[in-house]
Amino acid sequence: MLATVPGVPPPGTATVPPPVATGVPPPPGVAPPGAPPGAPQAPEPLGKRLPPEPAASGYGWSPGGPEGPPPAAPPKRTGRRNILIAVAVVAVLGIAGGVAAVLAAGGGSGHLQFPNSIAGQPRVHSAALENIANGVAEQAKLGSEKPQVAFYGPEASPQFLVMAYDFSVDFDTAYTGALAGIKNSSGGSARIGSGTRSSDGSTQYECAPLTTSSFSGEFCLWGDDDTTGMVLTLNAPASPNRLVSQVHDAVVR
The predicted-structure confidence for 198-250, as pLDDT tens digits, reads as follows 999 999 999 999 887 777 889 999 999 999 898 988 877 779 999 999 999 99
DSSP 113-140: ---SEETTEEBP--HHHHHHHHHHHHHT
* Beta strands in the chain, from DSSP E residues, in sequence order: 117-118, 121-122, 148-152, 160-165, 191-192, 196-200, 203-211, 216-223, 228-233
Task: Give tens-digit pLDDT for 164-205.
Answer: 989 888 888 888 888 877 777 777 677 888 999 999 999 999
For the purposes of burial, counting CB atoms within 10 Å of the CB of 198, is it exposed (0-12), middle (13-18) or buried (19 or more)? middle
All domains in the chain, ordered by first residue: 79-251 (3.40.1000)
What mean pLDDT comes out for the span 93-119?
69
Task: Give tens-digit pLDDT for 120-160.
Answer: 999 999 998 898 888 888 887 777 788 899 999 998 888 99
Please report which confidence band the pLDDT of residue 96 belongs to, taking 50, 70 and 90 as the band edges.
low
Of residues 235 and 5, the one with the higher pLDDT is: 235
> Does the predicted model carry a pTM greater than 0.85?
no
What is residue 187's three-state secondary structure?
A: coil
